[in-house]
């Protein structure tokens, strides 16, 4: 009987130790919420303008609209309280024959923007992991 009680207490202590362990911060919070994501997007757009690999692709594009759309897209992707109302990645990027190199350039510019906004590498990697599956919808193959 006593043994059984000790066993139950041990299980209880073990479970409460698990519940008390710090939960991983949500990716939305780690990115600085909507304002942080908007700042990263803003910086990424500045980086596009310096990037010979992709800057011509954004000639004539309304970058104010792009900024809002990209921010909402990322915000919704990381389960933030935003609604992305644009078209799918496939529809938006269809017909332009975007290459692997161009996709990598956009990712480079995003990583650089996150560095410039002091986003920790672990958080950067969490966002990149969420974006990686978009590759098949954006790159022409």
The smaller minimum CB distance to ligand HEM, of residues 23 and 56, is found at: 56
The smaller minimum CB distance to ligand HEM, of residues 22 and 60, is found at: 60
Degrees to nearest 5, angle at CA 86 with 83 and 77: 45
The smaller minimum CB distance to ligand HEM, of residues 6 and 132, is found at: 132
Which residues bind to ligand HEM, rule: CB under 6 A? 54, 57-58, 61, 65-66, 69-70, 73, 86, 92-93, 98, 102-103, 106-107, 131, 134, 138
Q: Cβ of residue 48: shortest distance to ligand HEM, in angstroms?
A: 8
Which string of DSSP letters, residue by residue, matches 46-105? HHHHT-TTTGGGGTT--HHHHHHHHHHHHHHHTT-S----S--HHHHHTTS---HHHHHH
Contact (CB, 8 A) for 113 and 47: yes
Q: Cβ of residue 116: shortest distance to ligand HEM, in angstroms?
A: 17
Q: Cβ of residue 52: shortest distance to ligand HEM, in angstroms?
A: 12
Identify which of 88, 64, 90 has the alpha carbon closest to the alpha carbon of residue 76: 88
Q: Cβ of residue 61: shortest distance to ligand HEM, in angstroms?
A: 5
The smaller minimum CB distance to ligand HEM, of residues 13 and 61, is found at: 61
Return the structure tokens found at 90.
Answer: 């496939």
């Amino acid at each position: 009987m006593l043994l059984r009680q000790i066993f139950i207490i041990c299980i209880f202590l073990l479970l409460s130790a698990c519940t008390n362990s710090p939960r991983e911060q949500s990716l939305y919070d780690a990115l600085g919420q909507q304002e942080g994501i908007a700042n990263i997007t803003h910086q990424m757009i500045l980086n596009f303008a310096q990037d010979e690999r992709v800057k011509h692709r954004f000639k004539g594009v309304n970058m104010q609209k792009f900024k809002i759309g990209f921010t909402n897209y990322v915000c919704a992707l990381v389960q933030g309280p935003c609604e992305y109302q644009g078209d799918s990645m496939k529809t938006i990027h269809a017909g332009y024959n975007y290459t692997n190199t161009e996709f990598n350039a956009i990712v480079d510019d995003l990583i650089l923007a996150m560095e410039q906004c002091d986003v920790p590498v672990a958080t950067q990697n969490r966002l990149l992991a969420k974006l990686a599956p978009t590759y098949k919808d954006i790159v022409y193959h």
